[in-house]
Amino acid sequence: MGASPTRIGNERLRFEAARAAIWAGVIGLFVLVIYLAQSLLVIFGALVFAAMIDGGARLLGRALKIGRTWRVAIVLILTTAFFAWLVMFAGATISSEAAAFPSIIEKQLMQLFAYLRSNGLDISVVDFKSVAGSLTSGVGTVTKAIGGLFGGLTTMVLIMIIGIYLALDPNLYERGVAWVVPERHRDAFYDTVSHQAYTMRRLLAGRLVGMVAEGIFTWALLMFYGVPMAALLGLLTGLLAFIPNIGALISGVLMVLVGFSGGTEMGLYTIFVYFLVQNFDGYILIPLIAKKTVDLAPALVLSAQLIFGVLFGILGLALADPMLAMIKVGLERRAARFDESDNAERTAELGA
């Protein structure tokens, strides 16, 4: 049988052609990932939501010996009931506070501008008003979209629907993905996914505890002193706590600006509250959570947030931390398998 007309006879050329094909495949896959990035991010957001439901269902399973479907349903009903309560009993107060929020922020920014001008700092009034207008517009957007942290009602609905399906029977989808993995790598796949799922549940459970704690403590401390909009600031602080580093900074700035609207003493008190809450979160909650999940370097998390935030907006910003944790766990399990393989080879050599 004659050689194929497409066969490259030179071995060196075949090697180079194979290498070029691999690079072309990698580049093509990279382009495809970029093209599908938003959809992939929505799917990952659904995985995060499913992990929250799964964690709640597992927690209920310790006390209620009922089927998983019923436990998932209970978690969803309780979650829906909480948000219904939030809208019914707190919605009127918070919405009225949110309406006045941008004007207070703009007023404080203009007072800051006047203070800087009085101390000799030459700032254009037009430029400052433009910046202030942008900031207050952004604040108004945030307060109007409290329920849309992941951005966009359609995206949020998709995340919730896909997440509920995943939470109802996660093993079904795990087996489906494993089916396309080569058989010799399936044990490693199951091992990695198991550790990633465990870490995700722990990470999100700790995150939810931190959100509730920060929101309640902020609201209670601000209300105790009579700071305006304590309920709104507490809710914003709790929601923004889902985004480490950046969320705390945004909520702190808003809190201090509102505090100084009531005078210097109130402004200083809000600074005290901010540092108290953040120190409690940073030195008590986060270390306790990190011991049972994965400890991520703050600089690494912040860098990932900036990159994902620029590329994918608020959805990328919110999901940067969980995604970074999953990547780290995957790399750690891969390194652990290599170490186990090396140890097994050394033991075999010594035995021989």
pLDDT score for 136: 46
User: Angle at CA 348, nearest 5°, toward 344 and 349?
Assistant: 120
d(CA 253, CA 270): 10
Long-range contacts formed by 4-12: CB under 8 A, 24+ apart: none
> Burial of 38 by CB count in 10 Å (0-12 exposed, 13-18 middle, 19+ buried)?
middle
d(CA 273, CA 281): 12
Give the closest residue to 43 by CA, choosing from 179, 166, 186, 148: 166
pLDDT in tens, 262-306: 788 888 899 999 988 888 776 666 666 655 566 677 778 788 888
Give the closest residue to 212 by CA, choosing from 248, 240, 238: 238
Structure tokens at 26: 């990698």
CA distances from 32 to 36, 39, 242 (A): 6, 11, 29
Parts of the chain with a pLDDT under 70: 1-10, 14, 33, 89-103, 105-109, 111-113, 115-153, 282-295, 349, 351-352
3-state percent helix, strand, coil for the chain, nearest multiple of 5: 85, 0, 15
pLDDT in tens, 17-51: 777 888 888 888 777 767 777 788 888 889 999 99
d(CA 203, CA 48): 10
Query: DSSP string of 136-161?
Result: HHHHHHHHHTTT-TTSSHHHHHHHHH
Is the Cβ–Cβ distance between 75 and 53 less than 8 Å? yes
Coil/strand/helix, residue 70? helix
CA distance from start to end of the chain: 47
Structure tokens at 275: 């540092």
Give the closest residue to 160 by CA, choosing from 172, 147, 173: 147
Query: DSSP string of 226-242?
Result: T-TTHHHHHHHHHHHTT
User: Angle at CA 137, nearest 5°, toward 131 and 143?
Assistant: 140
**Domains in the chain: boundaries:** 27-340
pLDDT score for 286: 66
Structure tokens at 155: 């995206």
* Type of residue numbered 306: L
Which residue shows structure tokens 């938003």? 38
CA distances from 330 to 41, 277, 278, 335 (A): 18, 33, 30, 9
- Its pTM surpasses 0.75: no
User: Angle at CA 198, nearest 5°, toward 194 and 200?
Assistant: 115
Which residue shows structure tokens 């037009």? 126
